Amino acid sequence: MWATILIILAILILALSIIKIWLDLKRGKPKGFIIKEGIFLLLVAVVLLVIDVRFLGKPGVREKKEEVPKLEERAGLESDPVKRLLVQLQDYIGGLGKTDKPQLKLLFKKGMEYRMKEDYSNALETFRLGLDLKLKDSEKIALYILMGNSSAFLKDYENADYFYYEAVSLSEEIKNDTALVVSLTNLALLNQIAEDLDKALENYLKLLEVFKRTGNKRAEQNTYANIGLIYQMKGDLDSASVYQQKSVGVVEDIGDLIAKASQLNNLALIHRSKGNLDSALLLHQEALIIFRQIRDSRDEASVLGNIGLIFQDKGNLEEALEYHQRALAIDSAIGYVFGEAGDLTNMGAVYEEMEDYSKALEFYQKGFSLFDKIGATRESDFVKNNIQRVEEKMKE
């Protein structure tokens, strides 16, 4: 569009230049003046053409409009801890797809089709039929895990727990580490869903021993982080800090920048919970450098928001507001609605501390609107309470 406009302007200027020079000659103006005027107008036209060719006409300069992913769905998932944990459940096939038993192969295929349709009741019953056949131990383990997963999605956590324990027991008996890892992982996730933190911790510690024995450093690092998270949820911040620090140490050994940044961020959150604001700030800043280095905008925005919260804790409200604004700019640019809603809510909290209640109300309402739009019920209820509190303050 701009290229076309510039070409038209250049043509008009050239045409007008010729007409102007012809009129000036007819009026008998000095030739020196006419030549200078003509050169000036010609230069203007040339500059416009150069801009058109050099910048606007250059291939690849125009931004390609791409379809923006529906991040609202992902944001909604992150706002629901149960869904977030359920999608982490792992399957173990154990040769079911290549079994030489035609009936078992048929049941497996049919059960997985039900799973794909999210018909977990029929999936569970179909997998259960497979247990009536004469099976290898690895096939039994696979069916137990698939049944456990189906039960978990049906929110029948008691049955899911039973099936996973059966899989763990049989995996330990035949020394199948692959199946054991999947069974323990799913069991620990189920414990978290059921908010049985002691059992979750017990199963993550068992997993840690398996990974140490098999030399799986990356999985060991993730398990240290999960153990740290469970301790944090239990309120044991000292133990949480120890395990998060171990996670960072393993990450440095294997050179995983993304994991290192994530664990530094997690460790910073623990330090903030303990009131060690300066230590938390340094860890967040270190994580921020890595996220920028690997161009992870979403996590960069998250860390900026966390830094804003630290400055808010310190009472430095102007600086807190600045970091939340920077986080909002990034989340808005990448279309991450859940992040935008959180940033707006944090800004509302800063304005509330500043006792600028009209601004606080404005930002809380914007945050609530976005949380409500993506179905983040827990967060929208939280912000609604903030709105009610500020409205009460405005009446005083």
Q: What is the pLDDT of residues 282-304, one digit of tens each?
A: 888 888 888 888 888 888 998 99
pLDDT at residue 202 tops 90 = yes
Q: Has this prediction a pTM greater than 0.85?
A: no
**Average pLDDT of the chain to the nearest whole number:** 80
pLDDT higher for 249 or 100?
Answer: 100
Predicted confidence at residue 328, as pLDDT, reads: 94
Distance CA 268, CA 274 (A): 10
Fold classification of 236-295 is 1.25.40
Predicted confidence at residue 113, as pLDDT, reads: 92
Residue range 119-146, pLDDT digits in tens: 999 999 999 999 989 898 999 999 999 9
Kindly state which CATH superfamily the domain 91-215 is placed in: Tetratricopeptide repeat domain (1.25.40.10)
Yes or no: is domain 298-396 CATH 1.25.40.10? yes
Most confident of 246-255, 270-279, 369-378: 369-378
